[in-house]
Amino acid sequence: MKKIILIFTLLITTVTFSQNKNAKASMEVDGVCGMCKERIEKAAIRTKGVKSAVWSIDTHELKLMYDERKTNLETISKNIAAVGHDTKEIKATDEAYDSVHPCCRYRDKEIVDDHKEEKKSKKN
């Protein structure tokens, strides 16, 4: 009976720790172009524990694979905001936002509209 309890305890412990190794998540991150994509993905990847980061220009969704034992979504969001991009959880400071390239100013409706027009003209 003691052996069964010991094996059961070891199994539960192993499963608990292995679940956190490759967590997957997605978050919304504001941006408008390829330069934004590069900046967002680089900020996420530079966060210790992040293994994969892919941001979609069309959907603004950042798909992540990371080790929960080393980082969390709040830390990743802070690092993305530090390079000038808003997430739902954390808004970039004005200083960080002002540091992005002028064509990347996603808070400016005119610039966002210009990027939409570019996409339409490329499709036609």
Q: What pLDDT is attached to residue 10?
A: 56
Nearest to 87 by CA among 55, 109, 45: 55
Distance CA 56, CA 81 (A): 17
| DSSP notation for 19-53 | HTTTEEEEEEB---SHHHHHHHHHHHHTSTTEEEE
Q: What is the pLDDT of residue 124?
A: 59
Domain boundaries, the chain: 22-123
How many other C-beta atoms are found inside a 10 Å radius of the C-beta of residue 18? 9
pLDDT band of residue 11 (cuts 50, 70, 90) is low
Average pLDDT for residues 16-38, to the nearest whole number?
A: 87
Per-residue pLDDT at 35: 96
- Name the burial class of residue 86, with classes exposed (0-12), middle (13-18) and buried (19+) by CB atoms within 10 angstroms of its CB: buried
Give the integer Cα–Cα distance in Å for 47 and 4: 41
Residue 57 DSSP one-character state: T
Q: Which CATH code fits 22-123? A: 3.30.70.100
Q: What is the pTM of this model?
A: 0.80
